[in-house]
């Protein structure tokens, strides 16, 4: 009986399972029929069907891939613009609209303080090229007799000469043969000793520096090859105050000819300084290197507070010979417009504020526009502590015209550089290299003391009147006081947006 009842229970169980399977298959069949009916009648939700078919997923994935490709292209663009690899950096236009827009949004990477310089490994492998031929001007000579401008009071000859507004304008008109003011007018000061004149005549390759008013101590270059030590003259231009400071604080040696040496530096002393202001005196060896050392074919200028850490032969190969340039300078780290730089000079009290404004008004009146990406240069403002030059007639002319602006107006040479580039136009070609490379050429040392001049704190032109006539420089800056042949009263300087908290 028990066996029979178990068999009946098992049969009922199998029968129930069959019914359930039949119900499920009937249900699925009805669901499919309903779906077909709904599709045919248009009652099904379209998006669910599309999603099930995978179309939305495909579109979504394609959109993500497209956005990623755009981001990748932008990132590659930014990276190539800041790459030290010459091929990649050549692909990038620094003035591209993409970079300008991204920079305004604060999305471009901040420039590095230092970066690798693409120099050769061995100075002995450097091949020195032939001299670059002179084109325009073919012949360049200098005005050495100072003549007073009509209407000026009689005075002693000036180092930079009494250049008239007409002479200044004429000096920017390029001709095959030119004669211009370029410092060193007779009786204006800046004399070298005879033993120094004799020594520099043999110098074809020069590393030059300068210290005035005991403001710095000589820094010995490092990583200098044996070949460069034989090829280059390392010339440190000093005044009497600095010479006394060096004698008291460093180990100075005197050779059998009477020449003074501090390590690798041969000291060149300037007597009867041409200017009242030490900063302005420092522009003489810096800008007029070709006048002090007339036999030099190439020169590298570094400020006195710098310790050169790259072989000078490798510097010439990298910045001049590789790209067939004759003049190279770094771009400023913070500013591209001279009006930005002028504003920073006023804020940091580096020269009389009203005179900086007057200087800038003259340039703006004469057509010097604020820097923009449409200009051919990376910047209108250089980092002028390092200058690399081949002494061609065009490079020498540029240096003369640059010095004349510094002599005529304020001693802030960063303001005048871009103006002279603007006036010479396409005729003057130069290489402006990244600021991070500039910072990799040297180690910066502190000044021996803080330099300050009373004129730097002047806030109003009224402060120059009355008993304060001593504030006014007597041997330079005359263009700030002579009647200007134009209406400057209506000139309004362009607005300046501070581009960097450090600038």
In the chain the first and final C-alpha atoms are separated, in Å, by: 107
- Which of 18-27, 116-125, 128-137 is predicted with the least confidence, judged by mean pLDDT? 18-27
Q: Which residue has the higher pLDDT, 7 or 251?
A: 251
For the segment 171-219, what is each residue's pLDDT rounded down to a tens digit?
999 999 999 999 999 999 999 999 999 999 999 999 999 999 988 889 9
By mean pLDDT, which of 9-23, 185-199, 421-435 is the weakest?
Answer: 9-23
- The percentage of residues in the chain with a pLDDT greater than 70, rounded to a whole number, is 78
Residue 84 has pLDDT above 50, yes or no: no
Residue 48 CA to residue 379 CA, distance in Å, equals 58
Instruction: Tell me which H or E stretch contains 69.
Output: helix 55-81
Cβ contact 387:329 at 8 Å: yes
Q: What is the pLDDT of residues 323-342, one digit of tens each?
A: 999 999 999 988 999 999 99
Element of type H or E holding 345: helix 338-347
Decide if pLDDT at 480 tops 70.
yes
Residue 438 has pLDDT above 60, yes or no: yes
Closest CA to 205 of 234, 182, 184: 234
Q: pLDDT for 344-387, tens place per residue?
A: 999 888 888 999 999 999 999 999 999 998 898 899 999 989 99
Question: Would the pLDDT of 402 be above 80?
Answer: yes
Mean pLDDT of the chain: 84
pLDDT for 19 equals 46
Mean pLDDT of 431-459: 82
Long-range contacts, stretch 290-294, CB < 8 angstroms, 24+ apart: 290/389, 290/391, 290/395, 290/396, 290/399, 291/142, 291/182, 291/183, 291/184, 292/192, 292/200, 292/208, 292/237, 292/268, 293/200, 293/203, 293/206, 293/208, 293/233, 293/235
- pLDDT of 245 higher than 70: yes
Buried b (16+ CB within 10 A) or exposed e, 296-331: bbbbbbbbbbbebebbbbbbbbbbbbeeebbbbbbb
**What would the mean pLDDT of 454-480 be, rounded to a whole number?**
78
* Confidence (pLDDT) at 463: 80
Quick one: average pLDDT of 60-72? 85
For residue 134, the SS3 value is coil
Extended beta strands in 286-369, E state? 298-302, 306-308, 327-331
């Amino acid at each position: 009986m028990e066996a029979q009842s178990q068999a009946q229970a098992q049969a009922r169980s199998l029968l129930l399972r069959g019914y359930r399977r039949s119900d499920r298959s009937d249900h699925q069949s009805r669901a499919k029929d309903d779906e077909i009916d709904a599709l045919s009648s248009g009652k099904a939700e379209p998006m669910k069907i599309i999603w099930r078919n995978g179309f939305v997923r495909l579109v979504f994935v394609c959109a993500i891939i497209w956005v990623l490709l755009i981001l990748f292209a932008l990132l590659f663009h930014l990276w190539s613009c800041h790459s030290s690899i010459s091929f990649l950096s050549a692909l990038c236009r620094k003035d591209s609209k993409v970079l300008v827009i991204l920079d305004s949004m604060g999305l471009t990477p901040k420039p590095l303080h230092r970066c690798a310089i693409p120099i050769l490994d061995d100075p002995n492998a450097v091949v020195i090229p032939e001299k670059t031929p002179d084109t325009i001007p073919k012949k360049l000579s200098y005005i050495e007799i100072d003549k007073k401008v009509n209407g000026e009071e009689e005075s002693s000859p000036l180092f930079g000469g009494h250049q008239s507004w007409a002479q200044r304008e004429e000096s920017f008109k390029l001709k095959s043969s030119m004669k211009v003011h370029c410092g060193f007018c007779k009786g204006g000061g800046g004399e070298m000793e005879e033993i120094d004149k004799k020594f520099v005549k043999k110098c074809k390759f020069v590393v030059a520096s300068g210290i005035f008013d005991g403001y710095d101590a000589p820094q010995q270059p490092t990583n200098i090859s044996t070949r460069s030590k034989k090829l280059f003259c390392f010339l440190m231009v000093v005044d009497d105050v600095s010479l006394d400071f060096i004698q008291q604080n460093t180990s100075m040696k005197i050779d059998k000819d009477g020449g003074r040496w501090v390590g690798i530096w041969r000291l060149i002393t300037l007597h009867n300084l041409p200017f009242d202001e030490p900063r302005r005196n420092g522009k003489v060896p810096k800008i007029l290197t070709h006048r002090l050392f007339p036999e030099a074919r190439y020169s590298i200028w570094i400020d006195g507070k710098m310790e050169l850490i790259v072989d000078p032969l490798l510097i010439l190969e990298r910045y001049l010979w590789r790209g067939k340039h004759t003049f190279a300078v770094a771009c400023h780290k913070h500013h591209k417009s001279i009006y930005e730089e002028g504003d920073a000079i006023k804020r940091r009290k580096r020269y009389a504020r009203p005179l900086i404004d007057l200087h800038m008004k003259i340039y703006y009146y004469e057509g010097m526009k604020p820097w923009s990406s449409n200009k051919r240069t990376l910047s209108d403002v250089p980092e002028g502590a390092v200058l690399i030059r081949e002494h061609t007639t065009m490079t020498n002319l540029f240096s003369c015209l640059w010095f004349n602006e510094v002599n005529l107006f304020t001693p802030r040479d960063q303001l005048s550089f871009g103006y002279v580039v603007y006036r010479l136009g396409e005729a003057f070609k130069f290489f402006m290299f990244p600021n991070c490379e500039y910072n990799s050429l040297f180690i910066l040392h502190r000044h021996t003391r803080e330099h300050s001049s009373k004129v730097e704190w002047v806030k109003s032109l009224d402060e120059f009147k009355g008993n304060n006539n001593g504030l006014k420089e007597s041997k330079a800056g005359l263009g700030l006081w002579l009647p200007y042949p134009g209406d400057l009263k209506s000139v309004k300087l362009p607005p300046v947006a501070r581009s960097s908290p450090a600038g």
